Structure 1
Amino acid sequence: MPVSGRWCRAALATALALALGACSSAGYYLHLARGQYQLLSSREPIAAIVSDPGRDPQLRTRLTRVQHARRYAVDALDLPDNDSYTVYADVHRDYVVWNVFATPAYSLDAVENCFPIAGCLSYRGFYDERAARDHAAQLAARGYDTEVGGVAAYSTLGWFDDPVINTMMRWSDAHLIGTLFHELAHQRLFVKNDTAFNESFASFVEQQGLQQYAASGAIDLQGQAEQAARESAFVALILQTRQQLAASYRSSRDPVALAAIKQQAFEQLQARYRQLRDAQWNGYAGYDRFFERPLNNARLLPFGLYDQWVPAFATLFAEHGRDWAAFYAAAAELGKLAPAARQAQLQALAARASAKTAAVVP
């Protein structure tokens, strides 16, 4: 389902950083250490798999494509040249990590988890689904909105040689390769305490890198445009609701009034989605699954994290001559700014993107 891609395609929690920072909870530390050890001990060189005629032919074909894309990432996108994604691991489950998102009942501010290396993150990661759901239940019992999302890939920011994982093999080539670019972008630049910056930066590198890779003739994206348009429209719906709720939560402190506002906003989101699905998508129901469970604030969080500043980074890339090295240097300078100044710069870049879009619309 397309909605699952929202959780799966991005590099999320950095396991080593989380483990080193988990001193406040010995049990959590041990849980992460065991999970990371299992993953690392399952690795084997992709080159060895590809060259072994006794291995699964489909796996060998997919990993051959990964090898080609990995080299392209270095040569054409100026992404890190290391041993990450030159190894493969089978963890024998559908997801490698489950992330727990949480917000207050009447706020879209994430409950952050802070660690010395990774900084503050807008989620908490677990290698075991039951542990993740137990943690979410504890937060819910304290009145928070929560969401648990399975993650098929993540980056340790270069601390370890991150593997391509079996959880990624069910994806299309475009999704797989785009995720590879996304993961490596996290290794290229990561700013502590700013999840939206990091995920939007990596999402832009993923999208732009995939477009360039397709333009080189290495992959065929034909047929992807329609799904990309649906994804963009669905995300726009979610972000519209986020903005609506954020404004409403600031306007009142009455919990009864806020509860009614919240319910109305989610009902409007469902109605707008049904109209989009039935009128514009000719009944395409790929996002129906998102509405199968009750909506809450936490379920909206990942959308804003991954998409918020993508137009800003697109503008930054264009304004630096579409040169990757210059773009990365400029993005790194943004990352050095104080949070308020960084936000202001990103808002200005996004405004220029909107103005340019408006100028070309008849």
Structure 2
Amino acid sequence: MKSIYHLLILCLCASLLSACQISYLVKSGYNQMKLLSQRVPIEEALKDPQISETDKNKLRLAQEARKFAEKDLHLKPTKNYSSFVQLDRPYVTYVVSAAPRWELKHYQWSYPFVGKMPYKGYFNENDAREEEKDLQQNENLDTYMRGVSAYSTLGYFNDPLLSSMLRYDDYDLVNTIIHETVHATLYIKHAADFNERLATFLGNKGAEQFYLKKEGPDSKTLLQLRKENDDAKAFSKFISTELAALEKWYKDLPADDRSEDKRMERIRQIQEKFTTELQPHLQTDNHKKFPELKLNNARLLVYKTYMQDLSDFQTLYELLGSDYSRFIENCKALEKAPDPTAALKQMIVDITKQAQQK
């Protein structure tokens, strides 16, 4: 009944939107309800002979991670991931992102409750491809479409574990559970980039703490996680610098000197720089495909959403004594800030000054 209530509220809000938005929201709402109707309790899924023992172990691990996120990390208790859905497709949704060709700026969509977002999701792959085609042809935008294995409804529904999530490595599954629980705990309207970077940072930290408790300080899993998280920090620093340089290049290049070949060559230079300057120093293969990717502004902005300036979160985390709960509480103070990213930087300055005065 709670899910039906939320869907009715969504449809009521849709009455204030355009016909295209109404159609999209109603269709998405229908597919969300269809997905929820397929849920079975985890306990029941663990008794299903059609589910492999490998997948059942992943279901058990997800329950461990869920309890750890709530009890040890003090994230918001929810009923998320206490049920399971077997999908008939590799991804649960397909997401489209877009950006102008000569500006590193998100094309954004507006939604009830959560505000503006730099992506639009579809349960049907063909619908996503149609959206992408329309943005390319009618608005002359760069686009990027990708399949998504997991997503959060931010507490509006009780999100199930999905069969698409069971393809993750164990530690990636743990990271994802914590990442999505961070969203359910703190989500700032109109600040998608900040929200995703926060969840990325806390997913990484939380997964380390999970395996430290589960397997101890000599855990091979923990060692691998720390290597991956170190690489994530290095890549974050690299891509943040390169995106800032590319943004300046766009602004400084005269309009009469612009060409698609020149633009693509400038983007390729980022990949070449990665290969020569960063890749030799990475400890894992997590970013090895970066030089081969077909990049454009829309795809580069995904890195901005998830990876840019993670160092600010690290700095605040260390200033707060590497205390996960204290870090979350301080971030909650940013909910009403017009620009939470700028407010985070100011918080770092203020806490640093207070520490120096003691």
Q: How many residues align?
A: 338
Instruction: Determine if the alignment matches structure 1 residue 245 to structure 2 residue 249.
Output: no
1:195-243 superposed Cα distances (whole Å, 9 cap, x missing partner)? 1110111112101111111211347333344444445444444333311
Paired with 1:189 and 1:294, the residues of 2 have a C-alpha distance of 33
Partner amino acid, structure 1, of 2:76 = P
Partner amino acid, structure 2, of 1:161 = N
Partner of 2:41 in structure 1? 45
The answer to whether the 8 A contact 2:85-2:160 is kept is yes
Q: Structure 1 stretches of 5 or more lacking a match?
A: 1-14, 354-362
Q: Report the secondary structure of 1:36's partner residue.
A: helix
Partner of 1:337 in structure 2? 337
Q: Compared with structure 1, are the counterparts of its residues 53 and 134 closer, same or farther at alpha carbon in structure 2 (3 Å cutoff)?
A: closer
User: What are the residue-to-residue correspondences of 1:132-281 with 2, within 5 Å?
Assistant: 132-141=128-137, 142-218=139-215, 220-257=221-258, 259=260, 262-275=263-276, 279-280=280-281
The answer to whether the 8 A contact 2:98-2:119 is kept is yes
| Cα displacement (A) at 1:99 | 1.1
Paired with 1:290 and 1:21, the residues of 2 have a C-alpha distance of 40
The answer to whether the 8 A contact 1:182-1:205 is kept is yes
Q: Compared with structure 1, are the counterparts of its residues 350 and 242 closer, same or farther at alpha carbon in structure 2 (3 Å cutoff)?
A: farther
After superposing the two structures, state which structure 1 stretch, 15-24 or 147-156, moved more. Answer: 15-24
Paired with 1:238 and 1:227, the residues of 2 have a C-alpha distance of 16
The answer to whether the 8 A contact 2:118-2:192 is kept is yes
Paired with 1:195 and 1:288, the residues of 2 have a C-alpha distance of 26
The answer to whether the 8 A contact 1:19-1:32 is kept is no
Partner of 1:311 in structure 2? 311
Q: Report the secondary structure of 2:143's partner residue.
A: strand
1:4-58 superposed Cα distances (whole Å, 9 cap, x missing partner)? xxxxxxxxxxx99987765422331233123212211121111222355674322
Q: Which has the higher contact order (CA 8 A, sep 6+)?
A: 1
Paired with 2:276 and 2:155, the residues of 1 have a C-alpha distance of 44
1:42-82 superposed Cα distances (whole Å, 9 cap, x missing partner)? 21111222355674322221111111111111110111212
The answer to whether the 8 A contact 1:39-1:89 is kept is yes
Paired with 1:205 and 1:40, the residues of 2 have a C-alpha distance of 27
| Cα displacement (A) at 1:350 | 7.1
1:290-322 superposed Cα distances (whole Å, 9 cap, x missing partner)? 555542100101111112243222333333344
Partner amino acid, structure 2, of 1:256 = D
Partner amino acid, structure 1, of 2:188 = V
After superposing the two structures, state which structure 1 stretch, 178-187 or 262-271, moved more. Answer: 262-271
Instruction: Determine if the alignment matches structure 1 residue 115 to structure 2 residue 116.
Output: no
Q: Report the secondary structure of 2:103's partner residue.
A: coil
Q: Report the secondary structure of 1:37's partner residue.
A: helix
- Identity rate, percent: 29
| 2:100 aligns with one of 83, 101, 104 | 104
Paired with 1:167 and 1:18, the residues of 2 have a C-alpha distance of 26
Partner of 2:355 in structure 1? none
Partner of 2:69 in structure 1? 73
Paired with 1:292 and 1:17, the residues of 2 have a C-alpha distance of 44
Q: Structure 2 stretches of 5 or more lacking a match?
A: 1-6, 352-358
After superposition, the CA RMSD in angstroms is 3.1
Tell me the TM-score normalised to structure 1 length: 0.82
Paired with 1:176 and 1:163, the residues of 2 have a C-alpha distance of 13
After superposing the two structures, state which structure 1 stretch, 287-296 or 80-89, moved more. Answer: 287-296
1:155-184 superposed Cα distances (whole Å, 9 cap, x missing partner)? 011111101111111111100010000000
Partner amino acid, structure 2, of 1:244 = A
Paired with 1:352 and 1:303, the residues of 2 have a C-alpha distance of 28
Q: Compared with structure 1, are the counterparts of its residues 323 and 274 closer, same or farther at alpha carbon in structure 2 (3 Å cutoff)?
A: closer
Partner amino acid, structure 1, of 2:317 = F
Q: Compared with structure 1, are the counterparts of its residues 186 and 19 closer, same or farther at alpha carbon in structure 2 (3 Å cutoff)?
A: farther
